[in-house]
Structure 1
Amino acid sequence: MRKYTLIAGGALVATAMTVTACSSDSTSSTSTASASASEGFGGPGGGGPGGGGGGVGQTFTAVDLDTDGVSAGSANTAAVVPVVEAFLATLDADTADTVSYDFDDTQARTTWSNFPQTAVPREGVVLGDLTEEQQQAALAILTTALSTAGATQDQDIQTADDYLNSLGGQGADGFGSLVDYSIAIYGTPSTTEPFTVQFGGHHLARNLTYNGDSVSQTPQFVGTEPTTFTADGTEYEPLEAESTAFFSLFDGLTDDQRTAAEITSGTFDDLVMGPGMDNGQFPETEGLAVSELDADQQQEVLAVLQAYVGDLSTEAAQATMAQYTAELDQTTIGWSNNTGPTDENSYLRIDGPSVWIEFINTRSQSTPDIHYHSVYRDKNNDYGSSNIAG
């Protein structure tokens, strides 16, 4: 279980151990960010100033969460509950205790990261500590809660960790599809009361909160290093849908539109609203209004949204897409640094009344080229809450 440290003011923070070799991961930093955001990170190979080395300074503090998130509904809660119960039934008492948390343990619920387990240990139980039967029962939760595309992406991101481990050497050792991923359950699975399934590890965070017909799939982090690879004769591109849609959207802008879409408040070397950024304060809106795009370009925006929202089970994803589509005229797109698919620090953003999505090409250590980080949040439904405050 996570170790908590008492700090001034009586607050508890979860502290991450120093990382000496990992695949470039960090949290938010911009040229205008606070020193704690930009100097405390810079994990090996990229992320913060200096890149290539250093420690991890991520902290996770308890926040106020309610259960009134603005969900579009159509959750498949009735299907998810029995598979969560079936997973828990495979566990002995000690393991079940390790996996299970109170729903109101908001500090644990917000402990997710893009770093590997060796840098930021996750709540719950590591897949590698489960039997094969238990692992399959845990993964059955994801195949039920997510769409085929979402569940496949999870598997492909885990396979990327196996690939990194096969490379060996600095920045690659210690990864793996079993050792880097954990599952935790918050609350009692119920069709009427709220509960959360949390699954994640290196380059992956799924936070699935159910409350009757309501569901939240955010915060959601997906990433991959490398962006493409071949393992056992199969080609993998875990973020193909997200990257293709995003880069196509920005490639199709006119020169005037591109100028209008540029974010001028700062430059970015990683995500702004990544792990640990749970105070509910999003940056001021910048960029180009989607209402200024033509019909084809607006369809490109919807394609980006679908690539993320579509990770959820079908009916809930369709309901959420309808909500975001209705808000499209109040949504903006923005970019900073670069917009090319292979350019370092290409930073792309969609910002709406509800939806917030960021995508960046960040430096790598284990592999020679850039790799992807991306986060999807819902301003009114993260963790199933409408009122997030530190």
Structure 2
Amino acid sequence: MTARTAGARRHLWPTASAAGLALALALAGCSGSTSDDDAGSTSTSTSTSGSSSTATAGSGDVVALAEAFSATLDEDQQEALEQEYTFENAANWSNLPNSLLGGGGGPGGGGGSTSSGRVGLQTDSLTDEQWAALDALLDGVTGSAPDEGYDEVVQHLAADDYLADNGGGDAYGRGQFFVAFLGTPSDSGTWGLQFGGHHLAIANTYVDGQLAGATPSFRGIEPFETVEVDGTTVQPEQQEAAAFNALLESLDDDQLATAELSSSYNDLLLGPGEDWAFPETAEGIPGSELTDEQRDLLLAAVQTYVGDIDDENAAAVLATYESQLDDTYVSWAGSTAMTEIGDYVRVDGPQVWIEFSQQNGVVLDGAHPHAVWRDKVTDYAGTTS
């Protein structure tokens, strides 16, 4: 489409495939309720109107995978991994390298040290066996599509290794990520799985064996162009940019004018630290004013984020968002290319909130994207304090 203007840390991961924008839209949906749970000092409320998945297949596997990973750790590492389930801990994520948050865990990160920047266990202390167990856990809670889910995580960590080797130094690399269990993994009660670091945040909250929230979910990437790292092709955010470009290019001039924002955007509105700050009024063009083809393109763009969670839960979440498409707004700023610095697009629905924003390069020249997926009901599984 054309654009309209307006070392020891190495770990062997599966080779990522280069998939185009081929998205399965005919997903089977399901709906139901999740149960409330008193998680200590936190206040947790989850939707009872089909806003979150009740898919339980595999939930026991998640607990088993979490326990299997923990079993590979020594006592100090387990102490770092296991954190209290509180909103403060759940909301303690960022897109920044951990060194810029005051953390880092010291040289080598030995002994499972914690960080003042992020909670949890730093990955630079993991052995190959421990990495393999963590890989299995991440694979179990993420999607199976190429360039999404687990494949996307693989590429993100490879990208950070690339930055470490190309000017970023020790502040970057897969050893600078953190994993935390907030609460005890179980099929009863509330617990959370966090995994993240520079440009990546996974935050799954489980209530009584069900995935009750998979957001906030942050994705960014530098470099944005395709590179190869130890046999892994790094290009995980290109399909998001292509999906949004295809959607915007499908709009006619009047629709584009309606969707265009009056302000420019150089970053996300609802990035880290901006929890539950959704604007009261949506801007842009609603799904009710889109053609069937345009609605399919909107859903395809949303799927590039929802598809990061496990396939069964992703189908349920996407079905909910599809049912709300009439009242889901699309807006944009910059250009429709979604590849240039200053390009910005937003999806704002009754529940879904997605932002994609092209930034200036930090380690490398050129644009690189930041993106966040939030849910107005199930962020942190409804925990607000």
TM over 0.5: yes
Whichever residue aligns with residue 100 of structure 1, its letter is E
- With 267-276 and 127-136 compared, the bigger mean Cα shift is at 127-136
Aligned in 2, Cα 1:283/1:268: closer, same or farther, shift over 3 Å?
farther
Structure-1 residue corresponding to 2:121: 125
Moved more, 316-325 or 116-125: 116-125
- The one-letter code of the counterpart of 2:131 is Q
1:28 paired residue number: none
> What is the CA–CA distance in structure 2 between the aligned matches of 1:299 and 1:281, rounded to whole Å?
25
Secondary structure in structure 2 of the residue aligned to 1:94? helix
The CA distance in 2 between the partners of 1:154 and 1:64, in whole Å, is 29
Q: Report the Cα distance in structure 2 between the residues aligned to 1:119 and 1:128, rounded to whole angstroms.
A: 17
- Aligned partner of 1:167 in structure 2 is 166
Q: 1:305 maps to which residue?
A: 302
Single out whichever of 187-196 and 294-303 deviates more from structure 2: 187-196
Residue type of the partner of 1:97?
E
Structure 2 counterpart of 1:189:
185
Aligned with 1:247 (options 229, 235, 245): 245
**How do residues 257-276 of structure 1 correspond to structure 2 at under 5 angstroms?**
257-264=255-262, 266-276=263-273
C-alpha displacement at 1:112, in angstroms? 0.6
Q: What is the letter of the counterpart of residue 112 of structure 1?
A: W
Superposed displacement of residue 217, structure 1? 1.1
On the 8 A contact 1:228/1:235 being kept in 2, the answer is no
| Structure 1 runs (4+) greater than 3 angstroms displaced | 232-235, 279-283
Aligned partner (choices 191, 201, 206) of residue 202 of structure 2: 206
Relative to structure 1, the CA distance from residue 296 to residue 279 in structure 2 (aligned partners, 3 Å threshold; closer, same or farther) is closer
Tell me whether 1:106 sits opposite 2:103 in the alignment: no
Residue 86 in 1 paired to residue 85 in 2?
A: no
Following the alignment from structure 1 to structure 2, what is the Cα–Cα distance between the partners of residues 350 and 187?
Answer: 32
Task: Answer whether contact 2:158 2:174 (CA < 8 A) is retained.
Answer: no
Q: Is the 8 A contact 1:287 1:334 kept in 2?
A: yes
Q: Distance in 2 between matches of 1:343 and 1:382?
A: 29
1:224–1:372 CA contact under 8 A, matched in 2: yes
CA contact (8 A) 2:328 2:347 kept: yes
* Residue in structure 2 matching 1:96, options 64, 78, 83: 78
**CA 1:77 to 1:280, structure 2 compared with 1: closer, same or farther past 3 Å?**
farther
Aligned residues: CA RMSD: 1.7
Query: How far apart, in 1, do the equivalents of 2:135 and 2:231 lie?
Result: 24
Residue type of the alignment partner of 1:290: G
2:44 is matched with which residue: 66, 70, 74?
66
Given that 1:183 and 1:200 are in contact with CA atoms closer than 8 Å, whether structure 2 keeps it comes out as yes
Shift of residue 167 of structure 1? 1.2
Give the Å deviation of 1:340: 1.8
Quick one: distance in 2 between partners of 1:287 and 1:219? Answer: 22
CA–CA distance in structure 2, aligned partners of residues 175 and 346 of structure 1: 27
Please report how far the alpha carbon of residue 281 of structure 1 lies from its aligned counterpart in structure 2 after TM superposition. Answer: 3.7
In structure 1, C-alpha distance between the alignment counterparts of 2:96 and 2:172, rounded to whole Å: 13
In 2: Cα distance, 1:189 partner to 1:235 partner: 33
Tell me what 1:115 maps to.
Answer: 96
Matching residue of 1:150? 149
Offset, 1:65: 4.0
Q: Is the 8 A contact 1:215 1:316 kept in 2?
A: no
Q: 2:22: which partner in 1? A: none
Matching residue's letter, 2:136: A
In 2: Cα distance, 1:315 partner to 1:159 partner: 27
Q: Which amino acid aligns with 1:68?
A: T
- What SS class does the counterpart of residue 308 from structure 2 fall into? coil
Match of 1:340 in 2: 337
Shift of 1:130: 1.7
- Cα gap change, 1:286/1:64 in structure 2, threshold over 3 Å: closer, same or farther? farther
Q: In the TM superposition, what is the alpha-carbon distance from 1:284 to its structure 2 partner?
A: 2.4
Contact kept? 2:204, 2:211, Cα under 8 Å: no
- Rounded to whole Å, the distance in 2 between the matches of 1:330 and 1:347 is 20
CA contact 2:163–2:173 (8 Å) conserved in 1: no
> Does the 8 A contact of 1:355 with 1:379 survive in 2?
yes
Gaps of 5+ in 2: 1-40, 102-116
1:118 alignment partner, SS class: helix
Structure 2 matches for 1:30-41, cutoff 5 A?
none
SS at match of 2:170: coil
- Check conservation: 2:358, 2:370, Cα contact below 8 A: yes
Alignment partners' CA distance in 1, 2:44 and 2:233? 42
Choose the corresponding residue for 1:139, options 135, 152, 169: 135
In 2, the alpha carbon distance for the partners of 1:283 and 1:202 equals 30
What amino acid is aligned across from residue 97 of structure 2 in structure 1?
P
Structure 2 Cα separation of the partners of residues 281 and 221 of structure 1: 16
Would you say the 8 A contact 1:356–1:379 is kept in 2?
A: yes
The structural deviation recorded for 1:67 is 4.1
Give the partner amino acid of 2:100.
A
- Contact persistence 1:242–1:307 (CA under 8 A): yes
Paired residues, what number? 321
Q: 1:97 to 1:329 in 2, by over 3 A?
A: same
Partners of 1:99 and 1:294 lie apart in 2 by 48
Residue 219 (str. 1) matches residue 216 (str. 2)? yes
Q: Take 2:284 and 2:255, find their aligned partners in 1: how far apart are those partners?
A: 9
> 1:233/1:190 Cα in 2 relative to 1: closer, same or farther (>3 Å)?
closer
Amino acid at match of 1:239: E
| Identical amino acids, percent of aligned pairs | 36
